[in-house]
Amino acid sequence: MVNPYYPVLLAAELILAPVVFILLFFITAPYGRFDRRGWGPVLSSRTAWMLMESPSLVLPVLMALRSSPNAGGLIFLLIWLSHYFHRAVIYPFRISSPGKPFSLLIMSWGFLFNMINSYVNFYFIFHMATHYDFSWFTSTRFIAGFLIFAGGYLINKHSDALLRSLRGEGNRGYSIPEGGLYRWISAPNYLGEILEWGGWALMVWSLPGTAFFLFTVANLLPRAMKIHKWYGETFSSYPEERKAIIPFFF
């Protein structure tokens, strides 16, 4: 029997995605370049990133230990962890502004989202899916999804590394990023993240995978547009031909 929490949490994620998408055009999450007072207590950004992303690292592993998944489930777990080990453990230690204030409210919201999202994705993979056999992992759908995920992974990490390289000793300000996909767009790290979870949705071919992809777009597209606008307003020499998140298009 399906755990009754599963459909409720999945429905919540699917319903919240368009709500968040619309809200984020009116409210900008107060962290990073958009940090501002009036949002209650704050944490250091390093602590916030580690806490916020930790459910996506810990919960699927605990679920795997409890449910002894088959080889297909373990392959998806490894792919997922390749992203979340980096995001929850490596990224916070490499961040170029580790002591910057990060809203406790935003951290808590991210923590809750990561709990729900990891749970529904791995509940489906470990307890409901019956199609992850050998033929699935040699199918065009899985291979295409995996390649999109891997491409997004490389774009995301490379773009974040280019941003880090802008801040040397004593330089805590913002500069115009150059190189990589920054030649064409203002937020290639977000494009990479969206591609990763688009590839994931294709690979797992599940409603929770699709919900995660939609939520990532809802979360990152409005912020990418705001970042693009912010660059244009902050730097008079910002390249005019650069788009927000889709090269040559948008």
Ligand X SMILES: NC(=O)c1ccc[n+]([C@@H]2O[C@H](COP(=O)([O-])OP(=O)(O)OC[C@H]3O[C@@H](n4cnc5c(N)ncnc54)[C@H](OP(=O)(O)O)[C@@H]3O)[C@@H](O)[C@H]2O)c1
Residue 102 Cβ vs ligand X, minimum distance, rounded to whole Å = 8
Q: Is residue 243 helix, strand or coil? A: strand
Q: How far is the CB of 66 from ligand X (least distance, A)?
A: 26
Among the residue ranges 9-17, 118-126, 159-167, 236-244, the one whose residues contact ligand X (CB under 6 A): 159-167
Complete DSSP assignment for 166-215:
T--TT--S-----SGGGGTBS-HHHHHHHHHHHHHHHHH-SHHHHHHHHH
- Listed ranges 19-27, 120-128, 135-143, 163-171: which one lies at the site for ligand X (CB under 6 A): 163-171
Q: Does 33 bind ligand X (CB under 6 A)?
A: yes
Read off the tokens for 43.
């944490």
Span from 131-139, 158-166, 200-208, 241-249 in contact with ligand X (CB under 6 A): 158-166
Residue of 88, 117, 193, 208 that binds ligand X (CB under 6 A): 193
Q: Residue count at the site for ligand X (CB under 6 A)?
A: 21
The residue of the chain with the least Cβ separation from ligand X equals 32
Beta strands in the chain (DSSP E): 42-44, 101-103
Nearest CA to 153 out of 204, 202, 192 is that of 192
Q: Which of residues 39-68 bind ligand X (CB under 6 A)?
A: 45
**The token pair that represents 104 in the structure block:** 């406790």
**Which of residues 127 and 162 has its CB atom nearest to ligand X in the complex?**
162
DSSP secondary structure string, 40-109?
A: --EEEHHHHHHHHHHHHHHHHHHHHHHH---HHHHHHHHHHHHHHHIIIIIHHHH-S-TTSEEEHHHHHH
Footprint (CB under 6 A) of ligand X, residues 197-226: 216, 219-220
Q: Which is nearer to ligand X, 64 or 218 (CB)?
A: 218
Q: Is residue 232 near ligand X by the rule CB under 6 A? A: no
CA 102 centroid distance within chain: 17
Interface residues with ligand X (CB under 6 A) are 32-33, 45, 95-97, 100, 156, 160, 163, 166-167, 174-175, 177, 189-190, 193, 216, 219-220
